[in-house]
Amino acid sequence: MTALLAASTVAYDIVRIAGAAYLLRLGASAIWKTLPRNRQPGVKDLDVPVAPGWFAAFRTGVVTNLLNPKVGVFYMSLLPQFLPKDGATSWGIVLVAVHIMVGLVWFPPLIWAAARARDLLLRDRVRRWLDRATATVLIALGVKLVIDSRV
């Protein structure tokens, strides 16, 4: 597909215009849904899931990290350059421990701030304005795709 788009100006323009039309449709639809006449009073359009308990959240995080190949790639590509040449494995353990400690220090305040932000972001008025801002960005990207020529 990439070779076809690179070789054919017509195919590239068709995909570009189709992508722009899709972005414009998404943006217009999002703005349309936020207009007062299109909202139904008393109907919530967003079901907010109940936060899981700490053990369920911990289990999800562990499983996600174990099944995420990027974690292994990180350790295999970044950490060896900081290990001494003599092959002492204790330094690897120290570096992994430092990484875990940084996570334990950084994530609790981050989670706390996200929980506070969640309360703010779930307010109807804030959600409506965020939806409008996102829709405006989508429309702007669609317009940019329409007016940009092939680079």
Q: Give yes or no: residues 91 and 103 share one domain.
A: yes
| Domain encompassing residue 98 | 84-121
Residues 43 and 71 in one domain: no
pLDDT along the chain (151 residues), means of 10: 76 86 92 79 59 84 84 80 78 85 91 88 87 94 83 50
Do 25 and 59 belong together in one domain?
Answer: no
Could you count the other beta carbons within 10 Å of the beta carbon of residue 141? 16
Residue 24 shares a structural domain with residue 65: no
pLDDT in the model for residue 46 = 57
The pLDDT of residue 57 is 84
pLDDT of residue 150: 53
Verify that 29 and 61 share a domain, yes or no: no
CA distance 20 to 140: 10
Instruction: Kindly state whether residues 66 and 90 are assigned to the same domain.
Output: no
Count Cβ atoms within 10 A of the Cβ of residue 151 and give its class: 0-12 exposed, 13-18 middle, 19 or more buried: exposed
pTM score of the predicted model: 0.54
Mark whether 33 and 3 lie in a shared domain: yes
pLDDT at 22: 93
Q: To which residue do tokens 């506070």 refer?
A: 116
Is 2 in the same domain as 44?
yes
Domain count within the chain:
3
